[in-house]
Amino acid sequence: MQAISKIARQKNNPERYNIYLNDQYAFAVDESTLIKFGLTKGKVLDQFEIDEITYEDEIAKAFNRALNFLSFQMRSEFEVKKKLLDIGFGEAVTIEAIRKLEKLGFLNDETYSKALLETKKKTAKKGPKAIKQDLIKKGIDKKTQEKVLNTFTYEEQLEIAKDLARKAVKSNAKKTPSQVKQKIQELLMRKGYSFDIINQILDQIDLQREDEDWQQMIEQQGEKLWKKYSAKFTGNELHMKIKQALYQKGFPIDVIEGFIEEKESE
């Protein structure tokens, strides 16, 4: 049994106190721990009480570190747990600190997931599949994932995907409808949208080209192909290579043949 002979506030951290037992420094505690255990000068402590106090203080320290971590931005339970363990707090202390954070409303995976969903929708224009991967990386459980992703309506997905498609059409104005469709499909798949959404977008988007557009496109893309293949092939073999390449890019046969005739007449 030992008695508290002195309690001194730390100079560098006024919220922590050094506890002296029988005139010897014993341990330090957070102010909340000091109050919880009613630590005052003269109080007698046995070893079990000392161990309980130091354990409670470890939880308080872990709680405060986590609170500081959360002050910069919202985090998932997985992220907070990893942070505390990486700092060096034990598993039991970390779990207790997390439970305290949850109880006080500082940590909530469902609230965090909803915020992440809104952010990914608005800033990255992501679809459900991509956002689900983000939630998995943050350690969100399957039930919470499904609950939150179910709030992302089909209509919202379609509207965001349409906006992405419109921008893709605009930035690929010099490409054939077939090439633009491929760009849109690749973009929406990468962003995490379903085939159903993608197919609806491709059915609705206007990709018609005027005759002069076709002419400009084939002059630009055909010239590159002609230069590439004419270095290796001639005659019918060259024509066949050019036709195949341009057809795969989505050019109509009549536009292709017109281009080849024009090149041969040069």
Confidence of residue 90 (pLDDT cuts 50, 70, 90): very high
Instruction: Kindly list the distances between the CA atom of residue 263 and the CA atoms of 57, 72, 212, in Å, as whole numbers in the listed order.
Output: 83, 63, 18
Q: What is the pLDDT of residue 266?
A: 66
Mean pLDDT on 53-75: 94
Is residue 42 within 8 A of residue 4, CB to CB? The reply is yes
Q: Which 3 state secondary structure label does DSSP give 124?
A: coil
Asked if residue 263 has pLDDT above 80, the reply is no
Beta-strand runs (E) in the chain? 2-9, 16-21, 24-30, 44-45
pLDDT tens-place string over residues 157-180 = 999 999 999 999 988 888 888 889
Query: In this model, does residue 200 exceed pLDDT 70?
Result: yes
Q: How many whole angstroms separate alpha carbon 69 and alpha carbon 255?
A: 62
Per-residue pLDDT tens digits for 209-232: 776 777 888 888 888 888 888 888
> What's the rounded Cα separation, in Å, for the pair 179 and 221?
12
Mean pLDDT of 65-92: 96
pLDDT per residue as tens digits for the range 120-157:
999 999 999 999 999 999 999 999 999 999 999 999 99
Average pLDDT across the chain, whole number: 91
Question: 98-122, pLDDT tens digit by residue?
Answer: 999 999 999 999 999 999 999 999 9
